[in-house]
Structure formats: structure tokens, C-alpha cells
Structure 1
Amino acid sequence: MPLSIFGFRALWSPWFLLIIILGMALYLLLTTKMRHRFKDTDPVTKSQLFFFMAGMVMLYVIKGSPLDLLGHILFSIHMVQMAALLLIVAPLIIMGIPNWMWKKVFDINIFNRIFSFFTKPILSLLLFSGMFSVYHIPLILDNVKLSPILHTIFTITLFISAVFFWWPILNTLKGQPKLHGLKKIGYVILSAILITPACSLIIFVDVPVYETYKSGEAWLQAMALCVPASTLSGLSGLGISGPELFTNMPTLVDQQLGGIIMKVFQELIYVGVLGSIFIKWHREELDNAEEITANALLERQRLTMHGQ
């Protein structure tokens, strides 16, 4: 059965598209024509502009295009959404916002305190991994998908936890929590380890565990998250009983594929991040080789003199 039966609003989310366009327009205004109204600003770079716009476009594709509708039909697509939202969109938005704009945000004391606390590396790591794991507990996910309010709250909170997670790796602001060299590498590796149990449980469980992806009644209620109530009521006479009408993939296979997709997606992105961290760290070591050698010699002389 074609997805078009759910209507234009469900497929393309025009109101969400409008929000995305307004967000992009506001960003362009603040970083160009209105920048002179703020103190201590710098021109936006081409890379920052690309990162922010790419992040916003991807955000619409994830949460506003037919991919979002598919994410309520197939668990595997839901996990593609999660991977892209948390591991690609969040860092793109961070890198796309100029430092002077972040500083304006942190000038507001409450935001500065929240970021300073929740972006401490250990806390941000545990918060992100914990939020992701808890969200995909069957009881939690099923109840969240049956409530538009809970779904919105959980999605926003999970995205914010991803921003907190990426902040110590990506931010370049003085006074903000950040990691360097080997600590960054260890941070990323530990994140991969902490998310593994949740993905493994999804991959290796031998029965479908999410009611909203296997039960026709629960699934139809969950579809209200992206399909207008008037459209759903109009479809009641078509005999729509569940997601199996839109896919030939067995529910268990779809569920296991979702876990595999999330883990593979995460590993690929983390390998890329680790590679870039190692290259940058190696270059910094080479650039500062003379200073490092000089400091090492001074330390050795100090220890020698102390031993005498």
C-alpha cells in the first residue's frame, strides 16, 4: 500500500519545513546583516555556513520528510533517524554556530551554568549513553510513541544530550569543558562501548519487543504522531491493520536490522572522528616538538638536580 494514502501533511510536514526555513533565515540575518549590532563578532566562515545549513537540511529530512513517516512503520528506519539526528545533525549544528554567538548564549547565566555542568566529559558521556539506552527500552519507547507530548519531550531531551556529548570534543571556546589528544580518543571509544549493550539487546533478542511496531492497534495510535487525526479516521475504513501492509519485512528482522544499523552507523562515524582527532593531535605534536623536547629536558635537569 502506498504511503501517499496518509496525505501531504503527513509526508512533508509543511509547518516543520516553515520552522526550518525560518531558522535558516534567522541564522543568515544574525551572521551577516545584523552582526554589526553585537560586540566582538567575527564574519561567519564558509565552513560554518555549510555545517549549519547542512545540519538544518538533514534535520528536516529526518523529522519532516517521508523518512519520518517510514520511521513509524519500520523500526530500522527509526534507528537511521536516531543515528543521523544524534551523531550527525548535533555536531553539525555545534560546528555551524560561530563562537561569538555561543558567547552570547553563555552570557545568559542560566545557560552558562547548564552547559558548564552537563558538558563535563564523564557526565555528558553517561547522560547521552543513558538517555539513548533508556529511550529504547520497549516499555519506554512504546509509551513515548503513544503520546505526542512525551515524544516531543524525549526527542528534544535526547538531542540536547547529544549536543552535551559532542561539546567537549568540538567546542573551541575558552572556559568551556573540552578534551585534548588521547582523552578525546578515550572519550569516543568509551561512548561506543556504553551504547553497545542497548544495540546488542535489540539485535540478539529472538522476539519482537516493540508493541508500536508489531501490534496493529498500538501502531495505529502511534501513527498519530505524524498523521493528522482527520486523515487517520478517514483511513479506518480501508482495513489498515498494521505496518505489515507497507512492507514485506518480518517485524523481528526489521527490529534486528535496526540494531545493526545503529551500531554500524555509530562505528563508522566514530572511526572518522577518531581518525580526525588522531591526525590533529599528531600535527600538534609535530608543530610543538621543539617546545615539548625543551620542556622534557628542563624536567630531567630539575629531577637530576633534585636527586643530587
Structure 2
Amino acid sequence: MTWWCVTLTEPWAWSPKAYPGIWASVLLLLVPYLVSMRRRTGANPHAGRRVAAFVGGVAVYWLATDWPLGTLGAGYLASAHMVQFLLYTLGAAPLILLGIPEWMGRRVLGRLRAYRAVRLLTKPLIAGVAYNVILLATHAPATVDTFRSSELGSFALDAAWLLGGLLLWMPILSPLPELQARSYFNKMIYLFLAAQVIPMIPGGILTFADFPLYSTYELAPRTFGLEARSDQALAGALMKVGGLPVVWGTMFGLMIRWARSEGHVDDRERRRRAAAAQG
């Protein structure tokens, strides 16, 4: 029995496969979180929403990692590999961050003695560069063909994607307010450049390449009738446009919050001036 999804040589079949390592990682994320929240939050009205977000993020992580998507992405389809990447970085990571309260974030960073390092890494410029370095490195043909061939290598790719997603979203959704970008405008520009503009470049290369770039997927048994070149083009298209709903939806939400915050400032200023005039 394998403990993590890895490249297989037999033709694809809808026969469920067990990956105990994936189940253990899900429990390792979920159980300590739920125990801590149960002990600390009590009647906190926001606790339910946070727990729902965190559990949802772990569920997306499980969906992206386990059979069947994890198996397809590990050795059959480049497009499934890309769907995994999108689920990790644009689904699991932001939901997990939304589920972490400030007190828990400070406790974890304090115990790991990682606050200074995280504060540096979550500066928008550094976080954006780090995320895209991870994106490029983990989609390079040499990396994919080398790492997908072993369980440990496949696990390393999955871990790198989750880490990259957390870095991407920290300047926007960090549980610690001081680690977020300073303004809504900065958050929107950062997210647009880091998660939308730069990934268009490698996505375009995959889409328009004249030959398959990944030996892993070129030599894999053909699945769902997709030829290697068409599969790779689909993977590139997903990298270019697959994140549009999340990225633009988030930017729209930030714009609404920005407008509301400006409205509150204007209301306070009007009340201050009215009080001054009456005095």
C-alpha cells in the first residue's frame, strides 16, 4: 500500500486507492484545530464561521490530494495536476487562513519562534515573488518528472503548493492584522499582479507549446481520450484563467469593503463637524 499519491504505470481505472498518509495529514490539520477552538472560543459568535472556513479548507485540501484527483494528477493528466494546484492555492489556503483566529495565529508563531520570519515573508513584494517562484519551480518539467515519480517527491510538491498558497494570501487574510497589506488598494493590486498577471506567462507556454513538455504525462496511459498535447494545453488554459473567479471575486469584495470604510470615515467626519458647530 502506498501512503501518498504517486505516478502509476497501469491504465486508469475507477478503483479506489487508499493513501493513509493523506488521511493522517488531514487529521493532523483538523484535530488540533478543533480541540483548541473548543477549549478557547466558548460562546464567541464568530467561532462557528471560522470553524466552517477551516474545515472547508481542509476538505478542499483532501479533495485535491486524495484519490481520484490526486492519483490522476500524480501520473495521468497534466490538467488534473493543474486543478490540484488551483485547489491548493486558491481554495484550501485562503479558507484555512480565514478559519484561524488571531490568538491561535500568535500562539503558533510564538511556539515555532517564527514570527520574524513570517513577518518578513508576508510583505507583499516578498510574498508575491515567493509564490510565483514556487509556481514556476513546481511546474518546471524537470521538477514534475523527478518529483512525481516518488511518494516523497509527490508529497513535497503538494506541501509546496499549500505553502505557496498560504504565502499568497497572508498579505490579504492573515490572522494577524499587522501582517496584512496596509490598504485595500494595495491588497487589490498585489493580488492582481501576483495571482493573475504573472501566472499568465507559464500558462501561455503550456498552452502554445508545440510538443509535450512533461515526460510523466506524455508517457502515461491515455486517460479520458485526452492526448498529451491537448491535456497540456488544457493545463495551461487552467493556469491562465482557472483562478479568475476567486481572484476577481476577492478584488470585488475588497472594493466593497473599501467603499464601506470610506463611507464610515465620512460619517464620522460629518458627526464631528456637526458636534463642533453645535458647541
Which of 246, 254, 269 is residue 231 of structure 2 equivalent to?
Answer: 254
Which residue of the partner structure matches residue 61 of structure 1? 63
- Counterparts of 1:91-170 in structure 2, within 5 Å, are 91-108=94-111, 110-170=113-173
Q: Which moved more, 1:165-174 or 1:270-279?
A: 165-174
Residues 99 and 294 of structure 1: CA distance in aligned 2, closer, same or farther (over 3 Å): same
Give the alignment's Cα RMSD to 1 decimal: 2.5
What code does the residue aligned with 1:55 have?
G
Pairwise CA distance, 1:252? 0.3
* Paired residue secondary structure (1:243): coil
- Counterparts of 1:170-209 in structure 2, within 5 Å, are 170-191=173-194, 192-209=196-213
Pairwise CA distance, 1:122? 0.1
Which residue of the partner structure matches residue 263 of structure 1? 240
Q: Percent identity?
A: 25
Pairwise CA distance, 1:18? 4.2
Q: Is 1:27–2:4 an aligned residue pair? A: no
Residues 162 and 271 of structure 1: CA distance in aligned 2, closer, same or farther (over 3 Å): same
* Higher normalized helix content (fraction of residues): 1
Q: Deviations over 1:46-81 (max 9, x none)?
A: 210111111111111110121111212111111111
Q: Deviations over 1:77-124 (max 9, x none)?
A: 111111011111000001111111101012236311221111111000
User: Does structure 1 retain, via aligned residues, the 8 Å contact 2:101–2:175?
Assistant: no
Residues 50 and 109 of structure 1: CA distance in aligned 2, closer, same or farther (over 3 Å): closer
Which of 19, 27, 45 is residue 13 of structure 1 equivalent to?
Answer: 19
- The two structures have a TM-score, normalised by structure 2, of 0.85
Residues 153 and 292 of structure 1: CA distance in aligned 2, closer, same or farther (over 3 Å): farther
Pairwise CA distance, 1:129? 1.1
Which residue of the partner structure matches residue 276 of structure 2? none
Q: Which runs of 5+ in 1 are unaligned?
A: 216-241, 296-308
Rounded to whole Å, the distance in 2 between the matches of 1:180 and 1:202 is: 35
Pairwise CA distance, 1:42? 5.7
Q: Which runs of 5+ in 2 are unaligned?
A: 1-10, 273-279
Q: Which moved more, 1:113-122 or 1:13-22?
A: 13-22
CA radius of gyration, larger in: 1
Q: Is 1:272–2:278 an aligned residue pair? A: no
Q: Which moved more, 1:94-103 or 1:166-175?
A: 166-175
Q: Which runs of 4+ in 1 moved over 4 A?
A: 41-44, 290-295
Equivalent pairs counted in the alignment come to 260
Pairwise CA distance, 1:43? 6.9
